[in-house]
Every structure is written in C-alpha cells, then in structure tokens.
Structure 1
Amino acid sequence: MARIGNTLIASVTAAALCSGAWLLHGTGAHAPPQPSVTEGRPDPGEEALAAPALPPSPPDRIRIPSIRVNAPLTGLGLTAAGSLDVPPAGQKNLAGWYEAGTTPGETGTAIVAGHVDNAEGPAVFYDLGALKRGSAIEVDRRDGRVARFTVDAVEVYQAKDFPDDKVYGAAKRPELRVITCGGGYSKATGYQGNVVVFAHLTGAA
C-alpha cells in the first residue's frame, strides 16, 4: 500500500474507539484513569533531543511496561468516510497502527490506536491516561529492531476540541501518538473525548 500523510485522518477517528459498552452494562464498573494537567506538552526546546531516525519497517508489537501493556499490532486503513479504522472490539489485547502513514521509528508521526474497553471489560489501553512523562514505550518492528520512545506528554481532549493538526500533523523527528478514549463518560453519549500520548524516539536496539 502506498503511504500517505496522516493529515488525511479526520477527528472522527477518535470517536470510533469510544463505545463504552462495558461501563454501560457493567455493575460497579469504574471509568479509566485520566491524565493530570502536569503531564501536558513539554516546551518546544525539548524537541531537539531525539535519536537518529530508523528506516521504514512495519511494527508488530507495542509494550508500555509502566501500565502493563504488551500487545500485538494490526495494520489499520481508512474507512469510506476518511477516518482511521479501528481494531476489532472483541480482541481486547490488540492495538492497531496506521499502515499508510509513518512507521514507528522513522521521521514523522506514527499513529497507534486501541480500545479502552469492550463489552467484557478493560481493553489494551485502559490505563493509558495514567501514563507519565518520561515513561518508556517500545515497539517491535518487522526488521528485528526495537524502537524505544519516551513520553513527552499525555493529554485529554473533548471530542469537539480534538486538535487534528497537533495529533496527526507531520513532525521533523521520529514521533509516536498513542490514542484511546477518555475525557469523561456518560451513559447517554459514551466516552466524551480522547486520551493522546505524545512520544518521541530516544533509542533503538
């Protein structure tokens, strides 16, 4: 598949992850953690501190040790409406990456998305909002390399205020975005926004 820019992804992508079926039907279910304001975007001066970019290679797995994520990655395309497709909701430990865009580790903005829950309970990115600045994210690539990212910020946005350019826009260094649902929950509307992790490449093995 020919690779295209992330800017074609619409903000409705984020809404597709956010049914909240477990919280709607679960007895005593609790909403997932949300990031605090102290985890917000770092100063622009920090953007120079990045490892050299890797050549393109599809990713196979994502690991976030501090929140116990260790999940395979499936390729995601675009829907007919132009939004990013989402992983099958029934596979709660599966995340997806935008395979027509940047691969994790190469220069640009790589996109990974996953559900926060499904009808059975918490899913792969349930604890994403608890992630802290400086946390590590590792992505196993098909070329045998492991791309190591450091979290710059963890932010939450209401759906109506989702910043497409900030999340999906081009980057001059290797960056990663990890996206799931958040922003509060209502039984009438489901999740009302999204948690977005911003990270950049700091090493490779």
Structure 2
Amino acid sequence: DKDGATPLFMASHDGRLECVRLLLEAGAAIDQADEQGATPLFAACQEGHLEVAKLLSSYGASRAATPFGTPEEAANSQGHTDLAAWLVASRGWTPLAHLETLTAARALSLLRSGASLHEGEPTPLQRAAGGEGEAAALIRRAAAPWSPASHSLFPAPARARAALLVLSIYEIHERYHLDSAGATNGIAALDFGHCVLGFAIARETQ
C-alpha cells in the first residue's frame, strides 16, 4: 500500500493465519518492512497474533530490532503475555525446531534442503526426541544412519552420493555374476553394501 506494507505484512498484522501460510509457501519476502521499518513479525507480535508469529518464526523471520523495538518488546509492551513467553522460550530455535507449527511437507522440505538436526538451543533433534506428530517422527528418522527407507530425508548431496555408491555396488554384483550360481553370496554382498552405506553417507558436512 502507500505506506509500503506488503500483503504478508498486512496479513500478519490482521492475524490472517492461512493467508500468511499461503504467502510464505509462495515465497513472500518474510522480513520486508514497511516504510516505517516495521516487519511482518513485529506487526504480528504488536497485535498479539501468537499463531501467526509462530508460523513466521518457523520460516526464519528475523527477531532483530526495528525502529520501534524488537518483536519481543512489542509483545511485552502490549500485554500479550503468552506470546512474549513463547518468544522467550523459542529464542534459540531454528526453523526445523518449530515442531508444533511444521507440517510434514514443510519438515520434509527443510530436511531435504539440508537443515541441521544439531543446531540451535534446544536442537531440532532434542525437541523431536519426545515430541509427537509427523514432523517429530520425520526428524527422528532423519537422524538415523542412511538406509533406502530414509534416503528421501537426506539433503541433495547425500542423496547423490548414496545413488552413486549403490550403483557401484550393483555394478560389482553384475560384473561378478553374483545373481546366478552365487545368488546367496550376491544377496549377502548387497545387504553388506547397504549396511556399509549407513556409515559412508553423512547427513551433515562437518
């Protein structure tokens, strides 16, 4: 609008949760401020929209100070105690740690794009350890060693490495004709190869 407010800013200010979700899924600029310097997260916190603030935070919205203060200060100054308490509790969370907000599709997208299981305070894996729901279950599965069943939860470089190594195992299998007289040995070799891959494929590059 004439004051520089984007659709995401206005939806956040008005507490339109599903509009905010659709805009974020479509790639709206999450931290674009209006002409006064207020961000969508600041607007949501000032108006006391807890679920909107959680959703924005799960997409990595900045909590840095605006010309009017931080989102946390805005919630406190307006008496939104539940929201202020949540902002304090979630200060160290990464987007993947927002288990209560993440859909399974969003959690899968973050895992496949390389989101760390071990960054933040508490980490996504620590929060998922005793958590319920699909997002927590996906994070626990992603923390296990690589296997064909968990392949889809790994980042693109790890998936590419897994595909290359699996192909190499099958090429060895075919080269030595282990699928005929040596069928039993061939199956054992493939099983052994998959077990080894669990240790050869790292989810996160240190």
Higher-helix-fraction structure: 2
Higher-strand-fraction structure: 1
> Larger C-alpha radius of gyration, 1 or 2?
2
Alignment TM-score, normalising by the size of structure 1: 0.24
Higher relative contact order (CA 8 A, sep 6+): 1
